[in-house]
């Protein structure tokens, strides 16, 4: 993820307003200085006052490299493995 906040705000937010999720994800990730963020759709939906569908669609668009590049010329913001469900093993 682009951690330069000025680049994030000046490039990503005007290009795709749903990328406002990026600074929210960063804030959760940096609460404990982790390399990952496990915040869920319900929490993001409540925090941003968005529907669950909008949060899921926004995350899907940012997590899927092919979808991202089909809609934007900006660098792919999230380079990570998507976890679809919790696996306690």
Question: What is the model's pTM?
Answer: 0.66
The whole-number pLDDT of residue 74 equals 80
pLDDT, average across residues 38-64: 88
**What are the pLDDT digits (tens) for 35-49?**
666 788 998 999 889
Burial class of 39 by CB neighbour count within 10 A (0 to 12, 13 to 18, 19+): middle
What's the average model confidence in pLDDT over 13-23?
80
Residue 52 CA to residue 14 CA, distance in Å, equals 22
């Amino acid at each position: 993820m682009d951690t330069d906040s000025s680049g994030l705000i000046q490039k990503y937010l005007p290009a795709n307003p749903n990328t406002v999720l990026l600074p929210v994800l960063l804030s959760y990730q940096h609460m404990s200085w982790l390399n990952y963020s496990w915040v869920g759709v319900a929490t993001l939906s409540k925090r941003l006052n968005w529907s669950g569908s909008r949060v899921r669609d926004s995350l899907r668009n940012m997590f899927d490299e092919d979808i991202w590049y089909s809609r934007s010329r900006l660098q792919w913001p999230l380079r990570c493995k998507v976890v679809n469900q919790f696996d306690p093993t």
